[in-house]
Each structure stands twice: as structure tokens, then as C-alpha cells.
Amino acid sequence: MLLHIIRYDWLALRASRQLLAVLGLLAFFVGVALWNGQRHVAFQRHTLAEIQRADAHNFTQLTSAVRRIEGDTPFTGNAWENPQDAYRAGTRLASHYPALPPASLALVAVGQSDLLPYYYKPVIGKQSALYHQTEIANAETLYDGSFDLAFVLVYLVPLLVIALSYNLVSAERELGTLALLMTSNTAPRQVILGKFVFRWLLLNGALAVLLGGGLLVLGVPLRGAEQALGVLLLALVYSAFWFALAFWVNSRGYDSGTNAATLVGTWLVLVLLVPALLSAAAEALYPVPARSELTTRTRDAAAEAKNTGSQQLAKYFEDHPELAAKSAGSGAAAADDFAQNALQTQLTVDAAVRPLEQAFITQRAQQQALIARFRFLSPSVFVQQSLSAVAGTDAARYADFEQQVAAYRQQFQDYFAGKMLRHEPMLSTDYAQVPTFRFQSTPPSLLAPGTLLNLAWLLGLTVGLLALGLAGARHLRLGRG
Amino acid sequence: MLRTVVVKEYAELRQSPRLRWSLLALYGLFVVALLSGYRYYTYTHTARQAAQEASYRQWLGQDKKNPHSAAHYAFYAFKPVPLLAVLDKGLDDYLGTNVYLEAHKQDDVTDRAAQDAADLSRYGSLTVGFVWQYLLPLAIILLTFNLVSQERESGTLRLLLTTDTPPTTLVLGKGLAVGKVVLGWFFGPMLVLSLGALLLAGGVEETLRQLPALLVLAVGYTLFFALVIALSLAVSGRVRSSGLALVVLLGGWAFGAFLVPRLSGSVASSLYPTPSAFAFTEEITEASENGMPGVDAEKKFRSKLEAQTLRQYHVDSLSQLPVSYAGISLQASENRTYLIFDRFYGELAGTLQQQNQVRRGFNLLSPLLAMRNLSRALAGTDYDKHLDFTQQAERKRRALQKQMNDNIKAHAAPEGTYEAADELWRSVAPFRYQPLGVGTVLSRQWLSLLALLLWAGGAVALFVVSTRRLSPN
């Protein structure tokens, strides 16, 4: 029976311009989105490759510069460019860039990857200085968001679904064919459901072809195949939800205009208003302190550091007793040491602003937790989040990267602080010993518990709407609603 | 006659459940938006002002030291939050908020608030501007889409066309009635409430200062709402059924509100790509060390400067100078880097402005976006204002550095032994941002204004054509 319905619905669809318009738009959207996503990822990959090249070049240069000095050619340049000076090396000359390489399916969702840094240049210095390192971006583009596949799936596909289905029952009624349909042997709701199912299959079939073809053309590696299937699965279930919603709305027997208004209104609420209200609530409940406060406190702490700096250094020695023994020998002369002074100041400042820095992290985590709790209010929210997770561009991954970089900066600082406190010069062999960074992560997966829960909830909603729709379609009204 | 039509349509609209629902939804959202705008302004404005004062206080609190140490210490310039951000905080979350005015280096304006926000904030934030630009047009569409088509569907249009009322008067009456509802029930009261919030947040004096911008904004919005009404009526008159009219209008709304901005963003960034922050910094470092056209390499610059100074003061060695060479060379190297910063930061700002210009060109497709740009610009929460702040801050930095270097130059003393005190720190005035005038803002928004006017003209033309050819079938 279903095949029969599908056959005639296909004929009807083919005859109208509606199908061509919807599929044409879908192809255009997916094409633009993949091109755009690919451009964004290619830019990031290119930048990271440039950085790696420059990084390697810099360390080779430094090593050979020190080797020249060791080979009895004294250093004649500016003091602050002396590659043997551990303080100069740690604050200026010798930093490795920690990088977050884009995941294989990063082109699917730009997520937070256009806003948050994907590489840093950590030096000995304020921890908070890391925050200032951001990629150049047009604020208008950041505000509006990217035209990526996630945008197509979350925002546009529902509109296409609505265009394909808002009047499936009401048009029959308005044309007078509904009465005809009701006289047939088949239950009308079966015919109507068949039409919805067919359109759902058609849309997702087209999407699968476009997405698969697009990814092949763009040369996304097969490693991404599992995730690509995940993206399709999300699209399949999410569009099913919108078709089910349209089915239910249609079954209530209102005219086409009311159906369209109801559906677009629901779209507006789920895609725009729930997220906006939720983020307004998160900001009001867990306000993040002002960054300007951090600037002020840093400077006040630095001014105070002159008095308390030695205490901080004493504390540092408690944590690192191996350094204290060697440093003690240098006696009072050490107090004059510029590098030691600078280090003292900085340890004091770091300690003074730590509670405030922590507040940023906690408040942001609280906001994110609130959103995670209430994400079920809107499928758009969690489908977007799942897509970002599959693409490896979600907030969680960037927060993880930031924390790993902070830990790395500590390691980096400890290395040079050790050198400085022991009054050791940088040797030509030392530059290879400078700690390096490698991002540790599990590859993004669809099988993450959060994503599975999202899918289950979405499926539940869809089934619920279908049941409501089927119940409603049992008593279809022939006249105006 | 027109009067009668307006009275009848207005009475009918007032009865409509659609109006009640729209009012309920829009006022609910408007109140949340206004409250969060008020909260944003009072909180952020106070915090930035406090930080600005603290930074200057820290500058004044410096011990005796060499002015060049002070130049390195310097202070920060914080971008003030404009009062109209209560209504439209525009791009503020995505633009930096402060810049360090240190020696030798033009810094980036850093601290984008969006980086501290949850990922959900990327869906856009609920502001009064959002309610007026996105949601109120939607409400207009819902109130208007079937005003003509329904008359046709129920057969009353045939009757109406037989009377001696011209169809244009008929539809114009409907439009005016909707306009009356929009201004009297939505925009007017909302504007009054907004004014109250502005007075509460910024006080009488500051609110009065913003009055011209607010007035232009009110006129702009009125024009915008009028053109949405005219377009909706034109579509309602042309299209064969109410359902189709609604779908066409909603489709147009979604296109203009969501598709165009993201599309124009990708076109703009592919036409005028920005460099990575890494490449940008590398280029500046490279130019500082090895020079660029018009700027000597560092080493050559130093030897040239030395020779030139000796010649100028007619002495044989730097130690014979009547002034401090440190002061001369510090200022000369500042001057040298100005050329470099002007070029690279200028190019970057140019690229971003070209991108924005492309986007504004696209806004010819969407009056909603043109209105959005105008609103942001008048509120002072757009990129132009940000760039103006950046430039004023950089001018302050240069003035501050010059004051320090001139002071060093005037105090010839053995290398590094000269120390200045309070008096010099106090001679540097605090940074005060001077906002752009409404005229300047409007002249920079000519493309948005053009888009709005073209749409208004187009809407009127469509309206006239559609109503002249009004057919009962």
C-alpha cells in the first residue's frame, strides 16, 4: 500500500514545481555550507602548518646561535635577544605554540572554532595573557554565525520540511479532494502518513547523496566515515521530528495559513527564542565577572609584589626544594637579579588573580551546566551541540584545550624558572629540552552518552507527535477548522 | 471615506485574537530584553568606568622612575558602553573592550565578552533591537497577510469593488489601520518604556544627549514598519490565497533575517580574506626588524639617526649632546613604527571595512538587515564606532609616549640615571573617548539608508501596482 501511495505522490510532486524548488534549495545550501566549512578548516590547517614551520625554524636558529656563542664567538646583540639568557628565552624567544588541530569532520560545524583560539603562544608571564590571544575575525560574521552544514541542518532543513508539508492535509481539504480520499478503502490517515514518510525519505535521501558526494569531492578521509554517518543519523531523526510536528499540526484540521503560521511559530520558538531566553537566564543567574576587573587587579597585585615578592618565591621554593639549595648559595646577589625579580612579581600576580580567574571558569561551567540541563527544551539546541561535538568544535573541547594549554604553560614556566633560579645559561642542547605540547583527546564520537541521550529524547518526541497526529487524523474534518 | 475604512479595520484588528497573542508574546519578550539590556548597561558601564579610573590611578601612583619605565607601564584605554546599548548592544560582545597604551607597540583591542559566554549565546541575544528588527515585522506579517486575500476568498472583495470607493483607498485604509496598531499598541508604548529605562540607566543629561540618535532611530523604525506593512498588503493583494500569501511573506522574512547575513558573511570573507593573527604579528615583526618600503631596517635606521643627530647638533660624539640621546632615539623609533602600524593595522581595518561594505551591499536584499545596521550604528555598538575608539586610543598612546620621550630628551643625564616624579605623571591627561556625532554616523551608513529608502520606494510601488490591479478572483 505504502509503495502505491509513494508512486502517486511522486507523480504529483514531480508535476509540481515544489519538489524541484525544495531539492534545488537543499543542494544549494549544502553546497555553500560544505564549501564554506572547507574554507574555514583549510584556513586553520594552513595557519597551523605555517606556525609549525616557523616554530621549528626558530628553535633551529636558537640552537645554532647558542652553538656559535659556545664556539667562542661572543654574543654582541641586544641583551634581550641573548639566546643564552634563560629569562629572555622563556619570556620572548623560545615558545612553542600549542595547537588544536581541526578534527576530520570539522567542516560540518564551525561551532566555537571561529571565536575561541585554536593556537596560543604561551610565555613566562601572566597566565591571563593567554586570554588575549585570539584569531582575527570580523565581529559581524561572528555575530551572525557561519553558513555551515550545522546551520543548514538545524535552521534551514526544518523550513524546507515545513514548505514540503505544511498543507498536506489542508490543501486536500481546500481543493475538495479530502472528501474523495475519505471514501476510499484505505484509511485516509494511512495515505497521509504515507505522504509524510515518503517526503521524509526523499529529503534525507537527497541529503545523504549531497553530503556523501560533497565529502568525497572535498577529500574528507575515511576516518570521518563513522562521524559522517552520525551526522546523517542526526539529520534523519531531527527532520523526522519536524515532519512529525507538521503531521500533527495538519491532523488538527486547520487551514493552510494557520498551519504555516503554527509551524513557523514553533520553528521561531525552538530555533531562536528558547536558546535566547536560556542564554539570558544563564547570564543572569551565573554572571561572569568583568574582564576589566582582572586588568585592574593584576596591576594592583604587581605594585604590591615589590613588598611580598620574596614570600611568593619562598613558597615557590617549598614546592621546588631542589631549586632552593642551589639558589641559596648565590646569596644577596640573587635579590638584584632582574630575572628573579620579574619572576617574583609574576608569581605574586598569578597568585593574586587566581581566585578571579577561577571565577571565570566556574561561572562559565555553571552556565554550560544550566544549558545542558535545559537543552531538552529545544531539539535545535542539542542537535546543534551534537553536531559541534561530532565536528570537534564544541565548547567542551575548547575548554579542554584551554586547560591543557594552562597546564602546559605551567610546565614551560617551571622549566625556565628552574634555569633562572639555578643561574644556568641556555646551552645549545637545552633548546631541544624545552617542553612541547600535544593535545590529548578522545576523538569526537556520536556514541558519547550525551549525544545518545539527545537522540533518544528526539526519537521520543517524534514518536509522541506521530501518535498524537494519528489520533487526530482518525477524525479528519472536511470543513474549515 | 479613507477615515471610515481605517476606523472599521482598526476596530476589527482590535478584536482579533492574533493581535492579543502577538501582544502577549512580544511584550513578554520585550520586557525580558529591556531588563537584560538595562542590566548589561548598568553592570558593564560601571565596571569599565571603574577600570578606566583605576588604570589612571595606578598610573598616577607610580614611584619615581625613568619616564621610559613609566612609558612601558602606561595605562589602559577602556571602550565606554554607550547608553543606547540598553536597547541594542549590537556587536559589543564580539568586539574587544580595552587596549593597552604601552611603549613601542600598538596593541590589539582585546577581551571579547563572547569568549566568556556559553555556546548558546551564539544563537543571538535577546535585545530590544532584536524584538523590533526581527519579531515586530513578523507580528505585522501575521496581522496583515490575509487582510486583502480574505476579502477575496469570502467574496466580499467583489462587493467592495462595486462601490465607488477606489481599491487604493480601501487597501490604504487597511494599511493605515495596521500602522495605527503597530505604533499605538507595539512600537509607541515600547518606545516610552525604553525611554524610561534609558532615564533610569543613564540619567536625564545623558538621555537628552542621546535624544537626536533616538529620534532618528524612531523615524527609521517607523519607515521600516511602514514598508513591511505595504509589502505584506501588496503580497496579500497579489497572491491567490491567504495561505500562500503567508508562506511567501514568512519565506521572505526567513530569507532576509537568516539566510542573507550568513550568506553575505561567507561571500565577504572569501572576497576579502583577513590574515591569521599569527601571520599578522609575524609581518609586523618582520617589518620592524628588516624594514619595509619607506622604512629602513632597524640597524640602518639606528646608524642613520646617530649620524643625523650629530650633524644637527654640530657635535662629534653623542656624549657631547646638550640633550639626552635616549629621548631622541626613543621618539624616533616610535615615529618609525607608526608607519609600520599605520600600514598593517590600516590594511586590516580596510579589509574588515570592505567585508562590511559587501555585507551592506547584500543588505539591499533585506530591509531588516539594513535597519539592524542603522540601529547598531546609532546605538554606537557597531564596528565603525569600535574602529573610531581604536584610533582615538592609538592617538592617545602616541601622545603619551611623546610626552615621556620629550621629557627624557630635555633631561640630559648619564644613561638611565634620570628619574621623573608625580609632576610628569600628572601632566598626562586621562583617556576620554569622544563619541561620533549622529551626522557622521549617518553619513557612514549611507548604504543602509539607501537600502531602506529603496525598499520603502519599492514597497510603495508594489503596493500601488497590486491595489490598482486588484481582481476579485
pLDDT at A324: 53
Q: How far apart are CA B89 and CA B81, in angstroms?
A: 9
Nearest alpha carbon to residue A67 among A457, A445, A432, A446: A432
Q: Would you place residue B158 in the very low, low, confident or very high pLDDT band (cuts 50, 70, 90)?
A: confident
Q: Which residues contact B464 (CB under 8 A, 6 or more apart)?
A: B168
Question: Do A47 and A133 form a contact (C-beta atoms < 8 A)?
Answer: no
Across residues A123-131, what is the average pLDDT? 71
Question: Do A259 and A477 form a contact (C-beta atoms < 8 A)?
Answer: no
List pLDDT tens digits, range B211-248: 999 999 999 999 999 999 999 999 999 888 888 888 89
A376 and chain B in contact, CB less than 8 A: no
Nearest alpha carbon to residue B35 among B111, B97, B126: B126
Q: Which residues contact A252 (CB under 8 A, 6 or more apart)?
A: A472, A481
pLDDT at A294: 86
Range A354-361, long-range pairs (CB < 8 A, 24+ positions): A356/A289, A356/A293, A356/A294, A356/A297, A357/A127, A357/A128, A357/A294, A359/A288, A359/A289, A360/A288, A360/A289, A360/A294, A360/B116
pLDDT at residue B123 greater than cutoff 90:
no
Q: Would you place residue B150 in the very low, low, confident or very high pLDDT band (cuts 50, 70, 90)?
A: confident
Nearest alpha carbon to residue A102 among A183, A162, A45: A45
Q: Which residues contact B374 (CB under 8 A, 6 or more apart)?
A: B217, B220, B445, B448, B449, B452
Q: What is the mean pLDDT of chain A?
A: 85
pLDDT at A333: 45
pTM score: 0.92
Residue scoring higher pLDDT (A340 or A271): A271
pLDDT at A309: 54
Nearest alpha carbon to residue A280 among B200, B123, B115, B25: B123
pLDDT at residue A326 greater than cutoff 60:
no
The distance of B307 to chain A (nearest Cα, Å) reads 20
pLDDT at B70: 92
The distance of B146 to chain A (nearest Cα, Å) reads 9
**Cα–Cα distance list, A98 to A30, A95, A153, A408 (Å):** 33, 9, 32, 8
A374 and chain B in contact, CB less than 8 A: no
pLDDT at residue B313 greater than cutoff 60:
yes
Q: How far apart are CA B370 and CA B377, in angstroms?
A: 11
pLDDT at A222: 66
Q: How far apart are CA B48 and CA B85, in angstroms?
A: 14
Q: Which of A144, A299, A300 sits opposite B265 (nearest CB)?
A: A144
| DSSP state, residue A432 | G
Question: Do A379 and A273 form a contact (C-beta atoms < 8 A)?
Answer: no
What DSSP string describes A37-61?
Answer: HHHHHHHHHHHHHHHHHHHHHHHHH
B268 and chain A in contact, CB less than 8 A: yes
Report the percent of chain A where pLDDT is more than 90: 42
Question: Do B301 and B331 form a contact (C-beta atoms < 8 A)?
Answer: no
Q: Would you place residue A190 in the very low, low, confident or very high pLDDT band (cuts 50, 70, 90)?
A: confident
Residue scoring higher pLDDT (B76 or A73): B76
Q: Which of A144, A284, A295 sits opposite B262 (nearest CB)?
A: A144
Q: Would you place residue B1 in the very low, low, confident or very high pLDDT band (cuts 50, 70, 90)?
A: confident
Q: Would you place residue B399 in the very low, low, confident or very high pLDDT band (cuts 50, 70, 90)?
A: very high
pLDDT at residue A188 greater than cutoff 90:
no
The distance of B379 to chain A (nearest Cα, Å) reads 15
Q: How far apart are CA B61 and CA B33, in angstroms?
A: 41
pLDDT at residue A329 greater than cutoff 50:
no
Across residues A416-435, what is the average pLDDT? 88
> What is the number of residues in chain B?
473
Q: Could you give the 3-state DSSP secondary structure of residue A99? A: strand
| Best residue of B30, B123, B282 to probe chain A, by most A CBs closer than 10 Å | B123
What type of residue is A233? L
pLDDT at A26: 95
Across residues A9-27, what is the average pLDDT? 84
Give residues 393 to 412 of A whose Cβ lies within 8 Å of B.
394-395
Q: Would you place residue B157 in the very low, low, confident or very high pLDDT band (cuts 50, 70, 90)?
A: confident
A120 grid coordinates: 596560543
**Cα–Cα distance list, A324 to A338, A422, B381 (Å):** 18, 9, 53
Report the percent of chain B where pLDDT is more than 90: 77
Q: How far apart are CA A92 and CA A90, in angstroms?
A: 6
Highest averaged pLDDT of the listed ranges A119-133, A349-363, A441-455, B53-67: B53-67
Residues of A with CB below 8 A from B39's CB? 284
pLDDT at residue B65 greater than cutoff 60:
yes
> What is the H or E stretch that residue A292 is in?
helix A291-319
Q: How far apart are CA B81 and CA B400, in angstroms?
A: 24
Q: Could you give the 3-state DSSP secondary structure of residue A119? A: strand
Nearest alpha carbon to residue A412 among A180, A122, A198: A122
A299 and chain B in contact, CB less than 8 A: yes
Question: Do A97 and A30 form a contact (C-beta atoms < 8 A)?
Answer: no
Across residues A389-398, what is the average pLDDT? 91
List pLDDT tens digits, range B432-465: 999 999 999 999 999 999 999 999 999 999 999 9
Residues of B with CB below 8 A from A141's CB? 265, 268-269, 355
The distance of B244 to chain A (nearest Cα, Å) reads 7
pLDDT at A340: 75
Across residues B152-173, what is the average pLDDT? 87
Please, how many CA atoms are within 13 Å of residue A111, restricted to the half-sphere of its CB? 30
Across residues B327-341, what is the average pLDDT? 94
Paired sense of beta strands B76-78 and B98-100, if any: antiparallel
pLDDT at residue A408 greater than cutoff 70:
yes
Across residues A7-21, what is the average pLDDT? 80
Residue scoring higher pLDDT (A353 or A306): A353
Q: Would you place residue B310 in the very low, low, confident or very high pLDDT band (cuts 50, 70, 90)?
A: very high
Q: List chain A domain ranges.
A: 36-148+289-433, 152-284+452-473
Q: Would you place residue A128 in the very low, low, confident or very high pLDDT band (cuts 50, 70, 90)?
A: low
Give the 3-state secondary structure of chain B: CHHHHHHHHHHHHHHCHHHHHHHHHHHHHHHHHHHHHHHHHHHHHHHHHHHHHHHHHHHHCCCCECHHHHHHHCCEEECCCCHHHHCCCCCHHHCCCEEECCCCCCCCCECCHHHHCCHHHHHCCCCHHHHHHHHHHHHHHHHHCCCCHHHHHCCHHHHHHHCCCCHHHHHHHHHHHHHHHHHHHHHHHHHHHHHHHHHHHHHHHHHHHHHHHHHHHHHHHHHHHHHHHHHHHHHHHHCCCHHHHHHHHHHHHHHHHHHHHHHHHHHHHHHCCCCCHHHHHHHHHHHHHHCECCECCHHHHHHHHHHHHHHHHCCCCHHHCCCCHHHHHHHHHHHHHHHHHHHHHHHHHHHHHHHHHHHHHHHHHCHHHHHHHHHHHHHCCCHHHHHHHHHHHHHHHHHHHHHHHHHHHHCCCCCCCCCECHHHHHCCCCCCCCCCCHHHHHHHCHHHHHHHHHHHHHHHHHHHHHHHCCCCC
The distance of B179 to chain A (nearest Cα, Å) reads 21
B266 and chain A in contact, CB less than 8 A: yes
**Cα–Cα distance list, B370 to B235, B359, B448 (Å):** 21, 10, 5
Residue scoring higher pLDDT (A298 or A114): A114
List pLDDT tens digits, range B336-389: 999 999 999 999 999 999 999 999 999 899 999 999 999 999 999 999 999 999
